[in-house]
Structure 1
Amino acid sequence: MSTQHDAGDARATDRAGDPDRGGSWGVLRRLGSAGGPFGLRRSGLVFLTCLALVGGLSVAATVRIGSAPVERAEQGVAEESAVEVTYCAGWDPGSRKPVGVMGVDGARKRDSAGEPYAVLLTANARPRGLLQIDWGRHYLGLFLFDEHGRRDRAYDYRELEPGLLDLRQYEQWRYASADEPEFPERGWHFTLTTRPDGDTADVQLDHGGLFQTSHDMPERHRTLRRAAFGDWTAYADGGMLGFGRRAGGAGDVALVPARLKEDEGHREAATPLWRAPSGMRPRYLEALFTPGSRFSDTEFGVAIVTEPQSAGVLRVPTGAVIAADPGTLSSRDEPYTAMVPVGDHPVLIAGMRWESEGWNETTAAVLRILDKPTASWELAVRPGQDTRLLGDDEFYGFGVDSGMGAFLDASGRDALAAAYEHRQQSDSPDDDTATEVGDPATGTNLIAYPSGRGDGSYPVWIGRTAAGEVTCLVADMLVLHDVKSLPPTAPDTTAFLTPTPTGSGGRPEPKPTDPEATAGFLAAVAASIAGKKEQVGRR
């Protein structure tokens, strides 16, 4: 057996063939690193899988690459341990088949470009794991399947630091019968949500009522190393894919290319089968302040935007702006990371009326900074908030408990909190109109406005020019967020950008454990919470 190595491209050629099988071995190429696209790990060594031609049939086999010359480690891979890899655009739960099958080169290009693609892992003719990858959105999702081809566990990872994946959320479903559809609306559903800097996780179990609590979340189970393209068992090893550990062995699996043709099955789906979870995006912000804009709501009918009302001029001596409930102002209300020019800036209140109902609502408040066109919007965030961690339609907002929101400069926060409380005690509160409260000592003021339909949490959107200058801050009451626009409402062509996160600093070096250990820990937490919920239900 002769062997040759090329720098940066481990390659082995068996010109003598296999005397036991009588076949001829072809070239083995290590694509990527740490095992390549069809590799596995064992005892710190790297294994590669190739295909041997035996009597015209393709047979999976494994070779080992270490510091010594390459040699064949096994005659073949046990059938129950061979996992086929299919690169595709996504998974169709209806047909339970991959959609938009692509070759390894196409998937590799999408991976390098930060474009979404999926990896299906199958064994014994049934799906075992599904990876949904979109590095452009810092996302890796892993789904594991039950014996009936339904996804029953989901891991949501985000790449917040290069090469390190933080677990954002884990979900688990239990199905009542073999024919129950995937993700039933009223089925058993467990969710664990964690943060990179938190020692505890929020957990909830929805089954015959919602049970919510918290649970310890060790740091080693919150992180995972990003693996090289093709090293898929770094995210889901043999145990997670349903292969038990063998006596005296580690229960490794071999990844082999699936016997599928590119574009086999559906070339396109009627609707996108998946997209990386992302936070809420603004809608109709310009139209909210454009009189005559019209919207249709399924419950209340047609809404017509009225003329914006002036609420006063906000004095901003430091450029650090806070949006908060004026009735609960405290040190917890931090300014947004985006600074605005120092000066006096007008505040306008947006309103609308329901055409058939005869009553009005406040839909937004805007702090005008520059009289220039807004080219893009982004979510306003405070220190430590990272939009890459948001799930679908989630946002970081300011909380309201008194039915009012307010803009103010951070330098006057404490004094204005006392002044507003004194104002509320002295006068009859009016939650239907804007209110200005000032503090002569600091020269600051706050401008309060009704918070739409009352208490809740509301996002603030930052508008910017094409050059990046801040044009405005809009507190969105979300009253018209989900409605449909009607003529003559102009379409919103403004871009949406993701703010650059501000590092908190001082994060200790993570020490991730292996994925199977984390899977076992999370399954144990789900079982523990299910037991606690059952105990509570018996009381």
Structure 2
Amino acid sequence: MIFDSLDVSYGDMWGSQRGMTHPDPMSRAVAARRHAAGMEYAVLLSARERPLALVEYWPRRMWRVYLFDDRSWRMQMIDLKPHSAGMLLAHRNTRWQFSHEQEHSSWNWDVQETTTVSADGQVEVSSEFAGPRGALHALTAEPTGVPVRRFQTPVESFLCPVPEFGDWQVFAPFLAQQGHEPATTVVLNDVSVEEGSGPLRASGIEQLFIPGACETPDGPAVVEPVDAGLLRITSGQLAVSDPGWIGETSRTVAVPPGEFPVTLSLLRTTRGAGVAAARVTFLDIPPHEWEMALRPEEDLGLLGEGQFYGVGVDTGTAAFMDATRTVIEDRLDEDLFAALGSQFTVELPGTEPEPNLIAFRAGRGDGAYPVWIGRTDDGQVGCVVVDFQLRSADGGE
């Protein structure tokens, strides 16, 4: 196919095999801000509503290009890294062959060929095929399995310019490797989504803790606030974290020391009950405004429509604790996770005046969840809420 224009859209990185459009699209403006900040994003280049290439920008100025053939199958992956001033080196080029569509959809390739190129132009090519029962065998290899196709070539043939943001014509020549020939001049058409209302907003968080009937995507439900005990803060820093990954997933908020009540919002439906949200209250004053709990390096301007920075959960469990609190990892299964199999919340006490830890099930299990700070009209922290997004303020998803 000869093309003289490319449609350009932006989104989060998605690995290309998960579809032909961005599952999490973003505006051009957000992508540009991410590029300037050195954060990852993806660019989809398409023509006639068919994907031709997905370009991923990685931290440390690394790039990855996925190429699609005329069937819209992902057939190639090219990794590029900085080489010299203003230039990128295509240092790894991987191609696949598939016998039929079912094999492609399940990613069972017949042949995988990988070409690696060093900074001085030393080229090494290895080929593997999927033998019986999926075993891999080298097509061209020495007895040790090391590829024997090695040769020297001018490295310039593997270089391309580092693109400025929006200069995606730089990658157009790569498309010829899958039979898509660029015209002399290639016009780029921006078809990305509008910037919209920006990051996720904290609308109606208070309603998550109001008892009574509500509607959810699973049908009628009942909200039941539950007392989960008193949280002891000694350092003046509240941490919200997966108790199995303290420090790695934590979000911290400066709060006063003392003991403060923790409340769970249980959502009961015909399918069972789950923790919809958890709150620790520092002042018995209704919040005047809500803000997302951020780390110092995080910038709301880098988030797309409805996105958020949140606490990561990898054990199906989240917790409130003092930022100085630690756990004995070898005892977590017995002391915490086993108990959460039959109840919604567990306290790991600390010897007074040491801080304790109050853990609870994450309503949707593993994932990332927004943490909201409710501030009074004079800016004090009135409460902190982690929302597990089982329902929104209006009862929807």
TM-score range, shorter chain: 0.5 to 0.7
**Is the CA contact 2:312–2:368 (under 8 Å) kept in the aligned structure 1?**
yes
Check if 1:362 corresponds to 2:275: yes
Q: Secondary structure at the match of 2:263?
A: strand
Shift of the alpha carbon at 1:194? 3.9
Which of 463-472 and 390-399 deviates more? 390-399
Shift of the alpha carbon at 1:387? 2.4
Aligned to 1:282: 202
* TM-score, normalization by structure 1: 0.44
**Is the CA contact 1:438–1:446 (under 8 Å) kept in the aligned structure 2?**
yes
Structure with bigger gyration radius: 1
Judging by fraction of residues, say which structure has more strand. 2
Check if 1:329 corresponds to 2:204: no
Q: Which runs of 5+ in 2 are unaligned?
A: 11-27, 87-163, 173-192
Aligned AA (1:309): V
Query: Distance between the aligned counterparts of 1:382 and 1:408, measured in 2?
Result: 17
Shift of the alpha carbon at 1:407? 0.7
Shift of the alpha carbon at 1:191? 4.4
Shift of the alpha carbon at 1:283? 3.9
Per-residue CA deviations over 1:343-397 (Å, capped at 9, x if unaligned) read 111110001222xx25222100011111111121111123423322222332222
Check if 1:157 corresponds to 2:32: yes
Shift of the alpha carbon at 1:215? 5.7
Aligned AA (1:303): A
Aligned to 2:54: 190
Q: Secondary structure at the match of 1:157?
A: helix
**Is the CA contact 1:279–1:393 (under 8 Å) kept in the aligned structure 2?**
yes
Shift of the alpha carbon at 1:431? 5.2
The structure 1 residue matched to 2:258, chosen from 343, 348, 363, is: 343
Aligned AA (1:466): D
Query: Distance between the aligned counterparts of 2:301 and 2:200, measured in 1?
Result: 11
**Is the CA contact 1:200–1:216 (under 8 Å) kept in the aligned structure 2?**
yes
**Is the CA contact 1:416–1:446 (under 8 Å) kept in the aligned structure 2?**
no
Distance 1:318 1:213, change over 3 A: farther
**Is the CA contact 2:262–2:280 (under 8 Å) kept in the aligned structure 1?**
yes
Per-residue CA deviations over 1:158-188 (Å, capped at 9, x if unaligned) read 289xxx776753413222xxxx34xx6xx44
Distance 1:403 1:359, change over 3 A: same
Q: Secondary structure at the match of 1:314?
A: strand
Aligned to 2:298: 385
Check if 1:469 corresponds to 2:380: yes
Aligned AA (2:242): D
Query: Distance between the aligned counterparts of 1:308 and 1:461, measured in 2?
Result: 18
Aligned to 1:292: 212
Shift of the alpha carbon at 1:450? 1.0
Q: Secondary structure at the match of 1:366?
A: strand
Q: Secondary structure at the match of 2:207?
A: helix
The structure 2 residue matched to 1:445, chosen from 356, 361, 376, is: 356
After superposition, residues 23-62 of structure 1 pair within 5 angstroms as none
Shift of the alpha carbon at 1:415? 3.9
**Is the CA contact 1:153–1:171 (under 8 Å) kept in the aligned structure 2?**
yes
Query: Distance between the aligned counterparts of 1:390 and 1:332, measured in 2?
Result: 21
After superposition, residues 2-401 of structure 1 pair within 5 angstroms as 147=4, 151-152=7-8, 156-158=31-33, 169-175=41-47, 180-181=48-49, 187-188=51-52, 190-195=54-59, 198=60, 200=62, 208=73, 216=81, 274-275=194-195, 278-292=198-212, 294-297=214-217, 300-304=218-222, 306-326=223-243, 328-336=244-252, 338-354=253-269, 357=270, 359-401=272-314
Percent sequence identity over aligned pairs: 27
**Is the CA contact 1:416–1:445 (under 8 Å) kept in the aligned structure 2?**
no
The structure 2 residue matched to 1:405, chosen from 318, 330, 337, is: 318
Distance 1:334 1:404, change over 3 A: closer
Aligned to 1:478: 389
* TM-score, normalization by structure 2: 0.58
Aligned AA (1:377): W
The structure 2 residue matched to 1:433, chosen from 318, 341, 344, is: 344
Query: Distance between the aligned counterparts of 1:219 and 1:390, measured in 2?
Result: 31
Q: Secondary structure at the match of 1:192?
A: strand
Q: Secondary structure at the match of 2:201?
A: coil
Query: Distance between the aligned counterparts of 1:444 and 1:239, measured in 2?
Result: 57
Query: Distance between the aligned counterparts of 1:291 and 1:378, measured in 2?
Result: 24
Query: Distance between the aligned counterparts of 1:472 and 1:371, measured in 2?
Result: 9
Per-residue CA deviations over 1:25-53 (Å, capped at 9, x if unaligned) read xxxxxxxxxxxxxxxxxxxxxxxxxxxxx
Q: Secondary structure at the match of 2:341?
A: coil
Distance 1:173 1:292, change over 3 A: same
Which of 463-472 and 279-288 deviates more? 279-288
Query: Distance between the aligned counterparts of 2:167 and 2:277, measured in 1?
Result: 50
**Is the CA contact 1:419–1:438 (under 8 Å) kept in the aligned structure 2?**
no
Aligned AA (2:308): F
